[in-house]
Structure 1
Amino acid sequence: MAALNHTGVSHKVFRLLGIPGLEDKHMWISMPFFISYVIALLGNSLLIFIILTRRSLHEPMFFFLCMLSGTDIVLSTITVPQALAIFWFGAGEISLARCIAQLFFIHSTFISESGILLVMAFDRYVAICYPLRYTAILTSSLIGKIGITIFLRSYGTIVPIIFLLKRLTFCRNNVLPHTGCEHIILARYACDDIHVNIWYGFFVLMSTVVLDVMLIFISYMLILHAIFRIPSKDARHKALNTCGSHVCVITLFYGPGIFSVLTERFGRHILPHIHVLLANVCILAPPMLNPIIYGIKTKQIRDQVIHVLFPKEI
């Protein structure tokens, strides 16, 4: 984008429209947002509580799931209350500093979740390919270091975006057709050249999410290779079943995101509100459905949830 002559005005306050073109339907749209948020909070909080309080679940797989649930709570809390405020009260005004803070936490949390899914794939690889050394490899110390590395990576790659945005002059418009702030969406309202923002955003995407997807794919190729070498059919079925929940969560997390990126890049004739709705699905669906998937498909968690919600009378 070529640099333009500045008007001398740099907007410090922006207005989020919500779902552009569907403003008259905001009250109806808010219902699935609210229900999804409540389910995400309750489901993920319950998972964290069960994993931390039940010693039988103090295993690497469940600790990583606990990280995933915590990340889901943060991701939905950063975005959904803001959207509901727009839908219910028309409270779409947001300062530039708050907008940058919001997009920082949205992007970093998204990258954190991608990193956790990668580590969970590694966990399944070790459990299936090296079952006798599983606990020896994935020690509590290593799990802690992995968690710290995931969050340092996510925050470290997004911090430069703060400075890339702060150098810009926002003199085009201050109305954002979205429910929240995103890096490139905000940068497009600047009068300066934003090629650095675009290329850095591309670098972040390739070095985190795309790299994670490639490594997850490689992990599952190795897992499948090991599984189909198991002579017992029952053992193969059991091994595949242990990966089922993770595969569902991976599909749920990356699927809508990939589709959203493709429509953003190539769907020039798609209506703006479709793009916004797809972007919100990427954030709403995983936090709401992840605890349900693990609760249904993982027997240990299912049994503990039943025990907590429906305790037997003494």
Structure 2
Amino acid sequence: MDDDLNVTYITLSGHVEVHQYRYLYFVIMFTAYFLIICFNSTIVFLIMIHKNLHEPMYIFIAALLVNSILYSTNIYPKLLIDFLYQKQILTYSLCLLQASVYYTLAGSEFLLLTVMAYDRYVSICKPLQYPTIMRKTVVNTLLVSAWLIPVCELAVDSTFYANINLCSFTLKGIFCNNSIYSLQCVRSAAISIFGVFVLLNIGLFPVLFILFTYTRILIVSYQSSKTFRRKAAQTCLPHLLVLINFTCFITYDVVVVRMESDFPKIVRLIMTLQMIVYHPLFNPIIYGLKMKEISKHLKRLLFQLIK
């Protein structure tokens, strides 16, 4: 706490040997951030310029990749600055903002994956009704809702955290997440209850809905021809891989961090780096390789660049 300026500073203690390897860390993470921006932006660009990709499925993929760019931009600039400075600190208000944006975008990712699962469900299980159900206004409404619902819920959650009394000023991480829960002097029942509500609403319920839709898709595909099953697998498999990947990382973040498990610092760092490096790079790669139409345009673009 800085009494003169009445500003509370939080120390991020999750870095390992940052003083010794600061420049190596900086180069690696800067490269990762650059690749994340390039890979995600390339797929979004391809979806924007090719009219045959202006379908709900590809529009939702573009929205998911834009979400990945925002997700990374919330973390990387501050992380890169920390590598170059002697102290890894930030004000509590900025820490709270970073955590709120982080979980807002994580919630948006779950809801976007839910919307994508619903789109595949309608396309495969109700193909004749697809043009009627997935109209442009419906697609726009689903996209806005996927971003607006987490914003509203996390804004309320942030107001609870803004007024708590702090007795600790050190986080066991390299960026601000729900470990700020451990900074409270007295655990707030309101924060805990509302946190569970948010987790259920933008985490568990969407995952259960996705599992339900893919179960229905699996049943319909099993009863159909081999060609139909192959086509369904080509469009659904990338979504499932992304869902499984993201769910595993968020489960670690929410459950393990919140339980304050006494993991070694190096293990925490490795898991955190996987969340902020592997996942944002995984999305564009899996969609670029597994989605046939996107892959075709991507290969054509690469050929033109090489030529």
Q: CA deviation at 1:307?
A: 2.3
Deviation per residue, 1:237-294 (Å, 9 max, x gap):
2222221111111111112222444544678342144234323422332211111111
Distance 1:60 1:196 in 2: 39
Distance 1:312 1:189 in 2: 51
Q: CA deviation at 1:165?
A: 1.1
Distance 1:52 1:157 in 2: 30
Letter aligned with residue 171 of structure 2:
L
Range with bigger deviation, 75-84 or 109-118: 75-84
Q: Which residue pairs with 1:298 in the alignment?
A: 291
**Structure 1 102/62 Cα, relative in aligned 2: closer, same or farther at 3 Å?**
same
Structure 1 gaps, min length 5: 1-7
Range with bigger deviation, 12-21 or 240-249: 12-21
Equivalent residue for 2:207, pick from 196, 205, 213: 213
Distance 2:275 2:212 in 1: 24
Distance 1:226 1:276 in 2: 43
TM-score, normalising length: structure 2: 0.90
1:283 aligns with 2:279: no
Letter aligned with residue 120 of structure 1:
M
Deviation per residue, 1:102-146 (Å, 9 max, x gap):
111111011001100011111111111122332322111101011
Distance 1:182 1:267 in 2: 12
Q: Which residue pairs with 2:303 in the alignment?
A: 310
State the SS of the aligned residue for 2:183: coil
1:199 aligns with 2:193: yes
Q: Which residue pairs with 2:132 in the alignment?
A: 136
Q: CA deviation at 1:79?
A: 0.7
Correspondence list, 1:230-269, <5 A: 230=224, 232-264=225-257, 268-269=261-262
TM-score, normalising length: structure 1: 0.88
**Structure 1 198/266 Cα, relative in aligned 2: closer, same or farther at 3 Å?**
closer
Q: Cα RMSD between the aligned structures?
A: 2.5
Deviation per residue, 1:132-169 (Å, 9 max, x gap):
33232211110101111111211111011221112112
Q: Which residue pairs with 2:97 in the alignment?
A: 101
State the SS of the aligned residue for 2:74: helix
Distance 2:291 2:73 in 1: 26
Aligned length: 304
Q: CA deviation at 1:11?
A: 5.7
Distance 2:25 2:306 in 1: 42
Letter aligned with residue 189 of structure 2:
H
Q: CA deviation at 1:216?
A: 0.6
Distance 1:277 1:200 in 2: 30
Contact 1:245 1:294 in 2 (8 A): yes
Range with bigger deviation, 9-18 or 137-146: 9-18
Contact 2:14 2:265 in 1 (8 A): no
Distance 1:43 1:186 in 2: 32
Q: CA deviation at 1:69?
A: 0.7
Q: CA deviation at 1:236?
A: 1.5
Structure 2 gaps, min length 5: none
Distance 1:113 1:80 in 2: 18
